[in-house]
Structure 1
Amino acid sequence: MAAPKKSNSGALSWDQVDTVMLDMDGTLLDLHFDNHFWQEHLPVRLAQLRGVDEAEIRPWLIARTNAVRGQLSWYCLDYWARELEVDILALKQEVIHLISVHEHVEPFLDAVRRSGRHVMLVTNAHRHSLDLKLACTEIGCHFHQVVTAHDLGCAKEEPGFWDRLREQTPFNPASSLFVDDNLAVLRAARDYGIAHLRAVRRPDSRRPEMDTGEFPAIGDFRELGFPSEG
């Protein structure tokens, strides 16, 4: 079967949407913080703490993270604290100044909330990381619900996630919008039947735009258009 043709437009028919589900890292927040932490800061600090060369730590750390990529463990700070024998949250706080909200996110969230639609933050982030970022950005007030995959026991890209979410919070997939920067997650959402999907072209503001595959994508949230106030 031929792959679905991708639309280049992120524009949305808001009259077809009653539930809005949004990812956090890379979608609402700049992924630069996470990329810098895992790829730059953590290897340096691990090397310092263990008294070894950074060049020795990097390939070892990449292999360890790749082994659980896409699983709930990949996103779990408790898992990495045990595996690496280091306080991951404390190390994250050393670069907390890099946490930032993507441009035009907050006006979009304001408009969606005022429109009367149900707005949910749906993230794979571990609860400790989620709490840290919500405290830094203060975007939590825009959501009716904040859901982390750790509360449901499986990552968004894993089988079963969307059924568990729907059991906890009933929603109609046919009238739901979901925005995420992870293509594996978007494909799982599509397979579940979520009708309105958008990828993010530049999750990390310091890196080039990414290929969003078969999904229509946005450069920023203005491209979705803001819904009228309900």
Structure 2
Amino acid sequence: MNTPPPCEKIFPLLPWNAIDTVLLDMDGTILDKHFDDYFWEQYLPEHYSLVHDIPVEEAKEHLLTRYHKVKDTLDWADLNFWSRELGIDLQELKLRINHLIGVHPYVIEFLEYCLKAGKKLYLITNAHSSTLSIKLEKTALGPWFDRVVCAEEVGLAKEESGFWERLQQMLHFDKTRTLLVDDTEKVLFVAQEYGLAHLLFVARPSSRQRVQYSCHFPSIEYFKELLPHEVVKK
């Protein structure tokens, strides 16, 4: 199978005077997705293989198949769902490796810039509330936001049609004056279909993976690309 050529970077040109609200994804956008990739693709399969006395590769293949069945739904991120399904306390497992949770470079500077500019800041995540609590406790990012919203509170995953309409009813933002930053193209496409005016793709969600630009949306590697030169700390 031929691998499609990489996309050329579309540079962001944000009209900040036309943006009142900033919606930020969590995993891969403001937090390094390495923690999640490692947990789901390596740490949990290793634990599962020990519990069931099977090879790690067999455990990984089995789990990836199960992950795929609930992809883009609330169940995918629901730790209670997976704990019941697998008979393993996933919250306890995540706590064991919470030292891997990290904030991307220049995120704090960007949050500070948005607040000084009078923007409303919201954290919008598919992450389960128990995962969210672990990450907010580790990173202390919660107080930066006007509100933190889990998809389970909305009743749909961000990839599902209807999510953004429900979110707008909750937060009362003007979709023509709102910026969404996310590392998942499908989320951005669904938001675009609903009418969110300003959409931005994070091309470096994990510090351990190569950069992949979007073919459809403006991309950034780090949030410093959105900051005035004088704001970026040397």
Structure 1 and Structure 2 fold alike (TM over 0.5): yes
What's the % identity of the aligned pairs?
Answer: 41
Query: Does residue 171 of structure 2 align to residue 172 of structure 1?
Result: no
Give 2:18's aligned residue. Answer: 16
Deviation at 1:14, TM superposition (A): 0.5
SS across alignment from 2:122: strand
Give 2:3's aligned residue. Answer: none
TM superposition score normalised by structure 1: 0.94
Which of 50, 53, 57 aligns to 2:52? It is 50
> In structure 1, what is the Cα distance between the partners aligned to 2:229 and 2:138?
27
Deviation at 1:228, TM superposition (A): 11
Give 1:201's aligned residue. Answer: 203
The 5 Å alignment of 1:26-45 reads 26-45=28-47
Amino acid of the structure 2 residue aligned with 1:118: K
SS across alignment from 2:211: coil
8 Å CA contact 2:25, 2:181 repeated in 1: yes
Give 1:82's aligned residue. Answer: 84
Deviation at 1:167, TM superposition (A): 1.1
The 5 Å alignment of 1:110-125 reads 110-125=112-127
Task: State the superposition RMSD in angstroms.
Answer: 1.8
Amino acid of the structure 2 residue aligned with 1:105: V
8 Å CA contact 2:9, 2:213 repeated in 1: no
> Residues 173 and 156 of structure 1: is their aligned pair in 2 closer, same or farther, counting only changes over 3 Å?
same
Give 1:3's aligned residue. Answer: none
Task: Provide Cα deviations, 1:4-62, integer angstroms capped at 9, x if missing partner.
Answer: xx872123121010000000000000000000000010000111122222122111101
Where structure 2 has 5 or more consecutive residues not aligned to the other structure, the ranges are 1-7
Deviation at 1:226, TM superposition (A): 5.0
> In structure 2, what is the Cα distance between the partners aligned to 1:226 and 1:79?
43
Where structure 1 has 5 or more consecutive residues not aligned to the other structure, the ranges are 1-5
Query: Does residue 142 of structure 2 align to residue 143 of structure 1?
Result: no
Q: Which runs of 4+ in 1 moved over 4 A?
A: 226-229
Which of 149, 156, 159 aligns to 1:157? It is 159
Amino acid of the structure 1 residue aligned with 2:40: W
Amino acid of the structure 2 residue aligned with 1:152: V
TM superposition score normalised by structure 2: 0.92
8 Å CA contact 2:213, 2:219 repeated in 1: no
